[in-house]
Amino acid sequence: MNPPPAARCWAEIDLGALRHNARVAQERVGPNTALLAVVKANGYGHGLLPVARELALGAGVRRFGVANVAEAACLQDEGAWPPEIARETTISLLSPALPDERAEVVRRRLVPWISTEAEARAYAATVARAGAETPLEVEIEIDTGMGRSGVLPPDFAALRRVLATLPELRLRGLVTHLPSPDEDADFTRAQLLAFSKIVADSENPADARARVHAQNSAGLLGYPLAAGCNSARPGLMLYGASPLPECQALLRPVLTLKTRVTLVRELPQGWGVSYGRTFLAPRPLRVATLAAGYGDGYPRHLSGMGAAVLIRGRRCPLLGRVTMDQLLADVSALEPPAVEPGEEVVLLGRQGGSEEISAGELAARAGTIPWEIFTGLTSRVARRYFGGSG
């Protein structure tokens, strides 16, 4: 596959793999459970519009989660879906809106998660001022242990009663979030059990059970669907990275990050490489300069951490510090013919044979998480899509 014209660093995004991962998510929760696909942060760096379109057209997803109003506006205003699909689609806000954003939430008919009585009353007042003919659909977020947003369990019933007095709002779901399904199984099982009990005990649950969901990717892969839930929220797994290593084989990586060699030089023994001279050549080396750096989202924290790139299907060690626009790799071990400027380099993904550099590997070496690896890719990285359903 040829890169886009003049691309120095680009991502190849396999929409067929995206569909596969969505099917895996659906199979894990069963055919009667709806998926809410999390596409925030530019579709985890994969491209918001192409990802959302493929999930709708190719995987039948009709519910999407974004972090803010601007992301929702992009989906709606840029025409992510044909009109007939857009009419069936709902967009949930996974983070609280700012007070000044509530009018836009109402105008766009987004689905906010409500945490407090004050928030509920503010939305009701906004709906009234807008003269909306139909109530705004909302979901109550219950804080069962995340500690970030949501109503605490002892206060849920009171908030539920307040919502019942606000004709401007219609309760359409209950939701909670799992903070550590990939780290603390006992806590997660207790959390899911507590949420299920709240759902079962809630007043007039027929309204709330329109959308009841708790499980993110790790929760979906590692635990049975919680009692009372009829929806799930896959995020990271859609993009081919499993938060649970034992489930990685189920998924197909969606993104391959590539760059090119710009220069090849011979460096003598003892010569310093990159800023700070943290690496000194232990022997004469053939070093390739690559056209990518932390300005493209390749983590600077990979400096000196044993990271490698793939050239001709072989691992070539990264040398010295990652710089803003360039990387340096040892290509001394590559067999003739010598590496030439213009050759393709894989920074993340697979290149020939069995060699692969995964997001999980890069994250572990950089002391971070795969989510940050993906979402850290900058606008300087060109995106190229293939394998779409139409």
The continuous run of DSSP H or E covering 366 comes out as helix 359-366
40 is catalytic: yes
Q: Out of 223, 275, 294, 385, which one is annotated catalytic?
A: 275
The answer to whether 114 and 124 are in contact (CB under 8 A) is: no
d(CA 328, CA 279): 11
The three-class DSSP label of residue 135 is coil
CA distances from 372 to 65, 363, 380 (A): 18, 8, 17
CA distances from 181 to 63, 221, 364 (A): 23, 9, 18
Q: Out of 40, 223, 294, 298, which one is annotated catalytic?
A: 40
294 is catalytic: no
Angle between helices 48-59 and 69-77 (to 10 degrees): 60
Q: Which long-range contacts (CB under 8 A, 24 or more apart) does 113-116 make?
A: 113/138, 113/139, 113/140, 113/141, 113/149, 113/150, 113/175, 114/138, 114/139, 114/140, 114/141, 114/151, 114/159, 114/163, 115/140, 115/141, 115/143, 115/149, 115/150, 115/151, 116/151, 116/159
Six token digits for residue 307: 């990271």
Which residues on neighbouring strands pair with residue 92, listed in sequence order? 65, 111
Kindly list the catalytic residues.
40, 275
